[in-house]
Amino acid sequence: MKQLRIDRLLTLYLFYYAMAVMRRPSEWRIPILMYHSISEDNVSSRTHPYYQTNTSPAIFEAHMEYLYKNNYRIVGLKEAVKLLRNGEKDKVKYAVITFDDGFRDFYTDAFPIMKQYGFSSTVFLPTAFINKKREKFKNRECLSWDEVRELNSKEINFGSHTVNHLQLQFMGKKEIEHELMYSKEAIESNLRCPVESFSYPFAYPEDSDFKKYLRDCLEKSGYKNGVSTRIGTTDSNDDYYSMKRIPVNSCDDIPLFKAKLEGSYDWLYSVQYLSKKFKRHKKT
């Protein structure tokens, strides 16, 4: 039996039309897509569609085909930030493609599909699981450094997803700084090029003091931009060290994928934010 998906119903039949009316014509947003594993694994698991992080190759190809046929220009995070800072809206539709966790199926399944359409992306690596020999993370095989170097030579960008993929909010300052700096150094030493992008693992905390400290650490470590699990399309008002992203998985058919790209899924950020605030208040 197919699970009822309230977020899909509200997105397609309420907020798709509400956003079209409420959003100013001059308002410019860029969707940053967040993928994880591209494989058939766990596609039909009992996990609710909202929480799934797996995308089948067939669905992923349908997403890439949609972007290509609808004239989306795929840019990197650096260019996206530059476009948003300049604030000069044009008629081009932009999107950014990102992958968290550094799984090997990016090499075997995602990259060949993206190559067909001439698309690039940024892959965020938890460097403790990237090695000369094959390592596993979340019971999935990870990329090797040889594969990372090969992909980088083919214009795939790489960023840090920390060293050990831990919840930074609950760690000491020295441990946090190690996670940020050592992961960056590990990627740079293997690729011989600067690493400018960071992806925050787990749910992004709604704690103003911690967020300021993290931003300062990222800037001090030499990062130029960062992404988070905060839901939504990114605009010029976003902090460029914790930009919002759009989660994507196998349950996203083309109507929902289209709505997400156009900002109709952004309403969920308010729900996500209030949920985090409530949980934090409950603990204190």
The predicted-structure confidence for 97-116, as pLDDT tens digits, reads as follows 999 999 999 999 999 999 99
Structural domains of the chain, count: 1
Range of the domain at 101: 28-283
User: Does residue 247 fall inside a structural domain?
Assistant: yes
User: Does residue 253 fall inside a structural domain?
Assistant: yes
User: Does residue 2 fall inside a structural domain?
Assistant: no
The CATH number assigned to the domain holding 243 equals: 3.20.20.370
Confidence of residue 1 (pLDDT cuts 50, 70, 90): very low
User: Does residue 6 fall inside a structural domain?
Assistant: no
Q: Are 143 and 127 in contact (CB under 8 A)?
A: no
User: Long-range contacts of range 108-113, CB-CB < 8 Å, 24 or more positions apart?
Assistant: 109/38, 109/39, 109/57, 109/60, 110/35, 110/38, 110/57, 110/60, 111/151, 111/154, 111/156, 113/38, 113/57, 113/60, 113/61, 113/64
What confidence score (pLDDT) does residue 284 get? 54
DSSP state of 10: H
CA distance 42 to 140: 12
CA distance 109 to 208: 39
CA distance 125 to 131: 11
Pick the more confident residue, 47 or 200. 200
Mean pLDDT of the chain: 91
Q: Are 162 and 180 in contact (CB under 8 A)?
A: yes
DSSP state of 141: E
Closest CA to 46 of 16, 3, 10, 14: 3
User: Does residue 7 fall inside a structural domain?
Assistant: no
> Residues for the chain: how many in total?
284
User: Does residue 99 fall inside a structural domain?
Assistant: yes
What are the residue ranges of helices labelled H in the chain? 6-10, 16-22, 57-69, 77-86, 105, 111-117, 145-153, 173-191, 208-221, 254-261, 268-283
User: Does residue 16 fall inside a structural domain?
Assistant: no
DSSP state of 230: E
Q: What is the pTM of this model?
A: 0.93
User: Does residue 14 fall inside a structural domain?
Assistant: no
What confidence score (pLDDT) does residue 273 get? 79
Say if residue 192's pLDDT is above 90: yes
Confidence of residue 274 (pLDDT cuts 50, 70, 90): confident
Pick the more confident residue, 50 or 126. 126
